[in-house]
A and B are shown apart, each in its own frame.
Chain A
C-alpha cells in the first residue's frame, strides 16, 4: 500500500491500522489514535499481538485462527485491545491488500451505534443462554445444531459407537435427531415439522425418559418477520430428581398406607393377643380358683359319699341283724338300750384325738372298777359316741355279758345319725361354695355397670380361696358400712381374687392376710395387705406394666396387675402399692362412690 493509498484512510471516521506481512503496525489513522488515546509514533513497528489484551485470549485466538485460514474478503472478529492499561472491546475487520493488512477498528463500547446495541443484545442473550438451568439447543431449518449450552451438552453426552464422547465442535452442524442412537426423539422431529407448517405456531411439550434422565422437553418454532421459519429451539429440563422424589414420595405414601394397614392389622392382632392374654390370665386365675373350688366341693362330696356308703352298709346290716338282736335283749335292758342310743345321738362337741384318748383311759378305768368286761373296747366305742361321763344309768346294761355286742349295735345305730349329720353339713358347705360361685359372676353379665356392694365381692373371693387360705393363712377383715356403688362387679371380683392370689403367693400360703374396706374422703378405700416377701424397690414401678412378671417363665403372663390397674382405672379409681422387702405389701385401691 502506498502512502497515497493510505491518505484515503487517514481521515475516515473509523480507526484504521496498516500491518506488514509480519503483522507489525506500519501506520494508524488519526481516528484510531483519537479513539485509543495513543500517538501515532508509538504504534509504529509494534506487533499487532501487543495490542490484544492478555485477558482476551479468546479474541486473539479467534483472530489468529481466522487469519491462518484467510483466503479473501474481510476477516471479521471481536476482540479486546489494551492500550495505556485500558481495555477496549473492539470489532476488527481485516483485509489483505497486496502483502499488507488493512484493519478497520471500531471501539464498540464508545461508538454506541447499532453494532454496540447488537453486541450488548448478544451478550445478554448469551448470558441467559449460558446460565439457563435447562439444556437449550437451537436448530436450523434442516434440524442441524446451530448453538447449544453446556447443560444440553452434559445432559446429552452423545457418544460414538465406541463409547467415545462427541466433542462440542462435533455436535455443530449435525442433525440433532440423528444423534439419538435409538431415535428417541423422532416424535419431536415430527412435531416440529407439523408446527413448521402450521398456521399458528404452538409450543410442543412432553415429559420423557431419556437414558436415565426424566426430561421435560419443550420446543418451539423460531420464525422471523421477514425470513419466516429459520429454525427452532428445544429446551430440555432435567426433572429426574423431582420425578424420582415424586416416585419416592408415591412409593413412600404407598408404603406408608401399606404400613398403616399392616400396623392396623398388627394392632388388631395385638388387641386380640392382649385379649387372649387377658383371657388366659383370667383363665389362669380362674383355673387356680376352680382348683380350690373343686377341692371345696370335693371335700363335702367325699364326706357325703363316705357317709352314704356308711349308711347303706349299716342299714343293710341292721335290717338283717336287728330283729334277732332285739329279741335277744331282755325287756329290762331294752329300755337301757334306748337310753344309751338316745345319749349317743345327742349332739355334742366333737372331741379331738387327745381328748378322746384321755376320756377313753378314764372310762376304761371306771368300767373296770364296775367289773364290766371288755372295758377297753367298750370304752373306745362309748367315747366314739361322745359318751364318757355319767355312765351310771348304763352300768346294768354294760355289765351284761352281751354288753359289748349291745354297745356296738348302739354305735351302729348312732352312726346312722352322724352320717346323716355329715351329709347335711357337707351339703351345706357345697351349697355355700356354689352360692359364692353364683355371686362371683352374677352381676354384670351384660358388661354394664351394676349397683353392688364391694364387700360382697371381697367376701366371695375369700370364700372361693377358702381352700388355700385355710391351710396356713390367717385372714383379718375390717369393713366399714359401705354404700352400694355402680361398678363392673365381675371385673372387681377379678381384682380381689387377683390381689388375694398374689398375696397368697407372696406369703407362700403362710402368713396374715388383712383386708380393710373403709370410707375415706368420700371414697371407698380397700387395702389388701400381706406379710409376704415384699416387692423390691427397683421393680416396684414396673409391676403395673404389661408383661412384667417376677414369676418363672410360663407361670405368669405378667398381665395380672396390668389388668387390675386397667379395671380400677375403668372405675375412675386408683391403685397404689406400698411394700417393704421381707415384711409385706399393701395394695391400696380407691374407688369413687357413684351409683347408677
Chain B
C-alpha cells in the first residue's frame, strides 16, 4: 500500500470552535514525553493496584477500536499491518516492525516511551513500553480478531538496540471493552475572558495547527524541545478514570487525585520549560512576549492549540492569582462519556497544569523547588453539572 494513501487516512482536522484535533475520526490530544512518562510512573508506581494493566488494557481497547475504524473492507492483512505501523509512527510513538509477526515477534528501533523516560526520568531497568504492548494487543485484535498478550521481552531502556515484543496467542480473556456513550455538550459562550494585548492567541493556534506535528522517519516528534505525541483523548480518560477508581477501591481516592494533579503540575513545568526554550517558541511566540505575564498567556494559547482544554483566563493577578475556565476540556467530557455525573471535579490534569504554569512563569529555582508554590483547585466542573470547569490557582 502506498504510504501517501495511508497518510491520507490520518489527515488532521482541527475544529476551531471546540479546539479539538481529530485524526481518523478520533479526538487526539498532543502531550509530551513528560506527561506520558509521568502518568505512567504514577499509575504503574502505585503498589496498591495493577497500574501496568490499567495502561496496557486502556491502550488495547482504545486502539483496537481506533484501528478497526481506520481499516477499510478492501484492506488486505498486509495493508493492515502497514497501517498499524504507520499510525504508530504518525502519532509520534516510534517505529514498529511487523515483518516477523508470523513468528510472533514485533520489534521497534525507536520509541517515544523509551526516549521519553530516558530524557524525563531517573534510570529504570524494567521495560518501559507498556503502552506499546497495549497498542499491539489492540492492533493485532483489530487485524486478526484474536485476543493476544504482548510482552516486551527486551527494551531499549536497558541499552538494547531494539525493543522486542513477543506475541502470546494463548490468551483466553477477551479484549477489554470500555464502552463510551455519546455525550452531547454545548460549551457556554457568554464568558468574558482576560486577554493579553500582546499575545495573538489565534495566530499561535493557527500556526500550531499548520505545523507538521507528526512522526518523523523514526516515528518521533521532537518539537518544542520535547518529544510530542498525539494520544487519543479516550486513552487518557480511561487510564485516569480507572486509576482513580482502582485507588478508590483501596480507599485512596484523594491520594490518587493528588498524584494525578502533582504529575500534571510537574509535567506542565517541564513541558513548558522545554517549550519556552525551543526554537519554535523563539520564532513564533517570543516576539509577542513583552512582559512576564505575556509568557503565561502564550503558554495557555499553546496548550489550547495542543487540544488540552479550550481554557481561558477569567481573573488574573500577576504572581498571586489565576482563575481559568475550561469550556469543554477533554477530561470532563471524556469522563461523562465513560461515566455519569459525579459530585467532585475530575479534571486533575488541568488542575495540576494550572498550578504548574504559574510556578513556571513566576517561580524560581529548579522544578523541584518550584513545585507546590501554587495551590490549584477545580472549583466547578462539567462532570458535576456545572457549565464550565473552573480552576483557581493561588500563591500559597
B254→A68 contact, CB < 8 A = no
Chain B 350-369 per-residue mask, 1 if CB under 8 angstroms from chain A, else 0: 00000000000000011111
Q: Which of B113-121, B200-208, B288-296 contacts A (4 or more CB under 8 A)?
A: B113-121
Please indicate which of the listed interface residues A49, A150, A157, A170 has the most CB atoms of chain B within 10 Å of its own CB. A170
- Is A316 in contact with chain B by the CB < 8 A criterion? no
When chains A and B are docked, how far (Å) is the Cα of A55 from the Cα of B395? Answer: 9
Q: Point out the residue from A64, A150, A164 that lies within 8 Å of B258, measured CB to CB.
A: A64
Task: List B contacts of A150 (CB < 8 A).
Answer: 365-366, 369
Task: Tell me whether B366 and A167 are in contact (CB under 8 A).
Answer: no
User: Interface readout for B105-131 with A: 1 if CB under 8 Å, 0 if not?
Assistant: 000000000010011111100000000
Q: A85: shortest Cβ distance to chain B, in Å?
A: 15
Q: Does A472 belong to the interface (CB within 8 Å)?
A: no
Contact B225 A165 (CB under 8 A): yes
- Interface membership of chain A positions 49-61, coded 1 if the CB is closer than 8 angstroms to chain B and 0 otherwise: 1000011111011
Residues of B within 8 A of A67 (CB): 252, 255
Taking a contact as CB atoms under 8 Å apart, the answer to whether B365 and A70 are in contact is no
Q: Is the CB of A173 within 8 A of B251?
A: no
* Contact of B5 with A by CB under 8 A: no
Chain A, interface SS category: loop
B187 contacts chain A at the CB level, 8 A cutoff = no
Inter-chain contacts of B45 with A (CB < 8 A): 65, 68-69
- Let me know if B48 and A68 touch, CB within 8 A: yes
Partner of B226, one of A149, A153, A165: A165
Chain B residues with CB under 8 A of A56: 372
| Complex contact B47–A164 (CB within 8 A) | no
A23 interfacial by beta-carbon distance below 8 Å: yes
Which one of A21, A60, A68 lies within 8 Å of B47 (CB-CB)?
A: A68
Q: Does A328 contact B (CB under 8 A)?
A: no
With both beta carbons as reference points, the residue of chain B lying nearest to A153 in the complex is identified as B366
Interface set, chain A 36-60, CB cutoff 8 A to B: 47, 49, 54-58, 60
Given contacts A54-B375, A149-B366, A170-B121, contact A164 B227 (CB under 8 A): yes
Distance (Å) between the CB of A125 and the closest chain B CB? 14
Bound Cα distance from A55 to B373, whole angstroms: 7
Determine, out of B138-146, B269-277, B313-321, the stretch whose residues face the partner at the interface: B269-277
For A172, the closest partner residue in chain B by CB is: B122
Given known contacts A60-B258, A164-B227, is B48 in contact with A174 (CB within 8 Å)? no
Q: Are B222 and A162 in contact (CB under 8 A)?
A: yes
Instruction: List the A side residues contacting B48 at CB < 8 Å.
Output: 68
**B47, A70: Cβ atoms closer than 8 Å:** yes
State whether the Cβ of A71 lies closer than 8 Å to any Cβ in chain B.
yes
A540 to B137, CA, bound (A): 102
B324 at the interface (CB under 8 A from A): no
A163 sits at the interface (CB 8 A)? yes
Compute the total of residue contacts between A and B using a CB distance below 8 Å.
Answer: 108
Q: At the interface, yes or no: A169 with Cβ under 8 Å from chain B?
A: yes
Nearest B residue (CB) for A126: B369
State which size class the interface on A falls in.
35 or more
- Closest residue on chain B to residue A157 by CB atoms: B277
Which A residues are CB-close (under 8 A) to B274?
164-165
Let me know if B251 and A58 touch, CB within 8 A: no
Among A70, A71, A168, A174, find the residue whose CB has the most chain B CB atoms closer than 10 A. A168
Set of chain B residues within 8 Å of A47, measured between Cβ atoms: 254
- Chain A positions within 8 Å of B196 at CB level: none
Q: Are B372 and A165 in contact (CB under 8 A)?
A: no
Asked if B237 is at the interface (CB within 8 A of a chain A CB), the reply is: no
Check if B371 sits within 8 Å of A57, measured CB to CB: yes
Establish whether residues A22 and B251, one from each chain, have CB atoms under 8 Å apart when the complex forms: yes
Distance from B217 Cβ to chain A, minimum over Cβ atoms (Å)? 12
Q: Tell yes or no: B396 within 8 A of A by CB.
A: yes
Binary contact track A152-181/B, C-beta < 8 Å → 1, others 0 = 010001001011111111101110000000
- Within A118-162, the residues touching B (CB, 8 Å) are 130, 149-150, 153, 157, 160, 162
Say whether A68 contacts B255, CB under 8 Å. yes
Q: Is A64 in contact with B255, judged by CB distance below 8 angstroms? A: yes
Chain B's closest residue to A71 (CB) is B47
Closest residue of A by beta carbon distance from B368: A168
Report chain A residues within 8 Å CB of B227. Answer: 162, 164
* Extra A-B contacts (14), CB below 8 Å, given A65-B45, A68-B46: A21-B251, A23-B252, A23-B255, A61-B371, A64-B259, A64-B262, A67-B255, A69-B47, A160-B115, A162-B222, A163-B222, A164-B119, A165-B119, A167-B120
A-B contact pairs, 12 of them (CB 8 A): A21-B251, A23-B254, A47-B254, A49-B258, A61-B258, A61-B371, A69-B45, A150-B365, A160-B115, A164-B274, A165-B274, A166-B119
